[in-house]
A = this chain, B = another copy of it.
Amino acid sequence: MGEFDLIARYFTRPARRAALGVGDDCALLQPRPGHQLAISSDMLVAGCHFFPDVDPRALGHKSLAVNLSDLAACGAQPLAFTLALALPEVNEPWLAAFADGLLALADAHGCELVGGDTTAGPLNICITVFGEVPAPGGRSQALLRSGAHAGDDIYVSGTLGDARLALDALLGKADLPADVLAQARQRLEQPTPRVTLGLALRGIASAAIDVSDGLLGDLGHILECSGIGATVNVDSASSLIAASACSTGARGQFSINLSEVQRRLLTLCGGDDYELLFTAPTAMRSAVAAAAQTAHTPVTRIGQIDAAPGLRLMDHQGQAVPNTYASFDHFA
């Protein structure tokens, strides 16, 4: 199967919202009047972001999910994406499953594949995603990292830690019961981008980012971009430990017992969670609760933005906790 047959068979569908889709030198997109295009690009490399033998359907899902998560963090409505794919070989069952996983998530979000590139090479998936954000009169409603103010609450959606727990188990660094691993692995391999929550938070959140490198590291980006500091209650954060990590097993007991140290590590610097971390003025507490309800996504308050720069950690008793948590860095 040649390059052009491959594109035609697995990745070409008629253009829907795009003015022109797959098959020309360029795709053509026209955002609605009064809207901006939000653009994000993520590259996934075999052996770095995923195990080379990962289920290709899950990989297709995750490749788009991590990009949709960036749109969610901007409060953007998914519109379209391009896919550039380097493949070591043409493996048709693999490609069919990859395309299935990818396009199922794309369809669920009305996000159209409009173009891209395929080439030979070590397995590498690069997706660039496009979303729409209202910008009436040029005033963008996008959620940015730079909008947090002193006094704002800090929130996280959903739960944290499962992806890292699964990764540690798959790397042989942790021993997990099969049922726990299966649940945690689902979060690692098929994360849910919080698109609906991101949309619901427009006009409510003051700043937002998605949790990909680890909660504290990603909060650091908000602090830096907003030029402020924060105090995080590590007990509130570690209470977000994912259901699978402390769920009751078949015999009504905890499947695994994590120490407080482990919980803190998994939640504060686990990474790959794709939850939304956001700030909002205290006057918006009921609006945040309503947005969470609209999006069917729980959110938890874990701290407060401070005028003083720097990140401070404390526990439920208000005691300072030393910050010994490093977030993920591809080159560190």
Contact = CB atoms under 8 A, between A and B. Distances in A.
Interface string A203-223: 000001110000000000000
Copies of this chain, count: 2
Given A20-B142, A30-B36, A45-B122, A210 B25 contact: yes
Interface in A69-118: 70-71, 73-74, 76, 82-87, 90, 114-118
Contacts of A76: 26
Nearest to A144: B24
A39 B27 contact: yes
Interface in A1-58: 1-4, 6, 19-20, 23-31, 33, 35-43, 45-49
Contacts of A210: 25
Interface in A216-245: 225
A280 to B, nearest CB: 17
Interface stretch (A124-132, A168-176, A303-311): A124-132
Nearest to A66: B117
B3 A330 contact: yes
Range, interface on chain A: 35 or more
Given A45-B124, A124-B43, A330-B119, A27 B38 contact: yes
A84 B20 contact: no
A140 interface: yes
B39 A82 contact: yes
B124 A70 contact: no
A26 B331 CA distance: 22
A295 to B, nearest CB: 17
Given A33-B33, A90-B331, A120-B331, A40 B25 contact: yes
